[in-house]
Amino acid sequence: MAEDFREEENNGNFFMRWWRRRGTFTKASIVVSFIIIWGLLMFIIGYSDGSSYFYNLHMGDVQAEVLNYTVLVDPSGGYVVEGVVQNRYRATLLLDYVWVKGYNSYGEVIALGMAPVFTNSSTVKTLRPGETAYFKTTDWAFEDGYYPEDIVSFGLTARGNLLTPSGTLCGVEIE
């Protein structure tokens, strides 16, 4: 009877016999090691969407956060869009303008407004981490045949580039 048991054990799966002989700490270490290796491989081959986001962030192509904005009508009947942007990154952000798009009732862009960024009364080009600044449209460009009264909604884009601590653009190679 004992010989039959040993014979079945010898004919069993080699991996299962090997695994049963390992201690709890060794088994946990093996599992964690495989998870780390799998995660690194997935990151390297770009399996997750996060890797493309990381690439864009590393190359400096980032979006500043528009905290709020207000649309006003000036005395001439044109629109004035003003608001606040904030740098939510851990690096300084180079940000020239906030671009304001005006859409018609069909969802087509019919106007593009340029809003410089400023603090107090001076125009700024950079925002430090966590810093906020104001913007206000100063110039509008309309598609031919469209006027301010044709705008039914607005969209804002505040894109910029991250700077390294030395003040150069992130991801730019110096030759």
> For 7-49, how does the pLDDT look when each residue is reduced to its tens digit (9 = 90+)?
555 556 888 888 888 888 999 999 999 988 888 877 676 544 5
- pLDDT of 175: 36
Q: Return the domain boundaries, the chain.
A: 2-47, 62-162
Q: What is the mean pLDDT of residues 121-144?
A: 86
Q: For residue 148, which amino acid is it? A: P
N-term to C-term CA, the chain: 78
pLDDT-derived band of residue 172, with 50, 70 and 90 as boundaries? very low
- pLDDT of 82: 92
42 CB contacts (<8 Å, ≥6 apart)?
48
Q: Does residue 12 or residue 172 have the better pLDDT?
A: 12
What is the CATH code of the structural domain delimited by 62-162? 2.60.40.10
